[in-house]
Amino acid sequence: MTSSVDFPLLLRSADLRVTRPRLAVLDAVHAHPHASTDALIDAVRRALPDVSHQTVYDSLHTLTGAGLLRRIQPAGSVARYESRTGDNHHHLICRSCGTIADVDCAVGEAPCLTAADDHGFSIDEAEVVYWGTCPACTTSSSNAR
């Protein structure tokens, strides 16, 4: 395992059975934040070579449903998973290489959950995505000129 997180305890605290695939999926997501499903399948298979695609998909679905993982899907991208849940953070995405980085909300705990007009909705989540160019792509673009 690549993390100091007690994954069996984490699963039990969410009333989930501790299984090798779930442990491997948690480990893979903690080791590779913002990874795609395909990348996570590859990472899980390094620990469990015979695990099926469906088992990884099922584990991701269960762990996301239990709030242990978060699924994000930026516009034009495949679904990605992260272990940072339960806080008010957003994402920076490079338009050139697709790198994703976490960024804390600039204004505090959960101001994004206060809409100017909520239209009667009970808002429980807001998604803010910043798009731009990462330092590596900016540097390589400058060097190419």
The pLDDT tens digits of the residues spanning 58-98 come to 999 999 999 999 999 988 889 999 999 988 788 999 999 99
Structure tokens at 31: 């080791």
pLDDT by 10s per residue, the chain, length 145: 455 889 999 999 999 999 999 999 999 999 999 999 999 999 999 999 999 999 999 999 999 999 999 999 988 889 999 999 988 788 999 999 999 999 887 766 666 677 778 899 888 777 888 899 999 998 876 677 6
pTM assigned to the model: 0.84
Q: Give the model's pLDDT for residue 104.
A: 85
- Asked whether 78 and 93 are in contact (CB, 8 A), the reply is no
Q: Give the model's pLDDT for residue 1.
A: 46
Write down all domains in the chain, each with its CATH number in brackets. 7-72 (1.10.10.10), 87-144 (3.30.1490.190)
Alpha helices (H) in the chain, listed in sequence order:
7-13, 20-31, 37-47, 53-65, 135-144
How far, in Å, CA of 27 to CA of 40, rounded? 10
> 122: Cβ–Cβ under 8 A, 6 or more apart, which residues?
none
Pairing mode, strands 35-36 and 80-82: antiparallel
Alpha helices (H) in 32-133, listed in sequence order:
37-47, 53-65
How far, in Å, CA of 61 to CA of 40, rounded? 13
